[in-house]
Structure 1
């Protein structure tokens, strides 16, 4: 099973309730995004701004620039790993790949989602991001993502270890 039922994760509600404040923090740092390090996975335009590092989830020095989001993660997902903003520029395609093979699930919260063909495929299922909405999937399974629109797609990405799940 790739995508998970978000109702099983109580922290989802607080992130969906605060998505506009989280988006506002992104807007303040949007010019500080850095290229995603795995450049072999994409054709262009995948950038991130880390709040917590990979894979340990330690606060990064510039996390204070997003203190509201940092604190929400710290206070509501104590078993998180990497967390931060992820932006796919217009026309960006991520190749099919498998993520880090640790005990993490990955949460995406839609912050800026353009109209059109912008989605993530995991195994045989495709999900389109929606502003203010979370989906959770198993990043260890094959997945790919694309933004075939003329505008940027921005999400908050958080890895976490589920408390009541066997891996």
Structure 2
């Protein structure tokens, strides 16, 4: 289930700054990214560069992304954040998240070709500079069948208790 990013003021701020966020991500040495720890979930080539874990900033990483780290402070109830890189040809198998207390946001930084995500029955494509917000306790999977890596700023934040409308567009 997807939600309209316009329901979250911080998503609009991230969107306005996406090019600066991308620049910080691209400046990171590639070898500083770590393989996503749940290796059974993907074929190959899913790497992350953590910025927040357990509601705490990873200062040793945030120092290299000061603009992004500053913007993340605007996210209410931020519990995790980082850059997610998906290599060409990589697929993330269908799975569900662990907590119904959070929503997940992807700010697309780089994506091209057949590069998308399915949440429930809805499929979306990442479009650089735009956010996708979804409930990751709904079965989802992702793929990059393009010829370039997909980069997103991924973050988990507290799910509002009420007032959310699902985004039903296809």
What are the equivalent positions in structure 2 for 1:123-162 lying under 5 Å apart?
Answer: 123-162=120-159
Matched, 1:58 2:51: no
Q: Could you tell me how far apart the structure 1 residues matched to 2:78 and 2:106 are?
A: 13
RMSD of aligned C-alpha atoms? 1.2
CA offsets 1:120-153 (integer angstroms, 9 cap, x no match): 0000000000000001000111000000111100
Match of 1:42 in 2: 42
Structure 1 gaps, min length 5? none
Contact 2:76 2:158 in 1 (8 A): no
TM-score, scaled relative to structure 2: 0.91
Report deviation, 1:78.
2.9
How many residues of Structure 1 are paired with residues of Structure 2 in the alignment? 161
Q: Could you tell me how far apart the structure 1 residues matched to 2:151 and 2:126 are?
A: 9
Report deviation, 1:13.
1.1
Report deviation, 1:12.
1.2
Structure 2 gaps, min length 5? 164-170
Match of 2:24 in 1: 25
Report deviation, 1:15.
0.5
Match of 1:96 in 2: 94
- State the secondary structure of the residue aligned to 1:132: coil
Report deviation, 1:30.
4.3
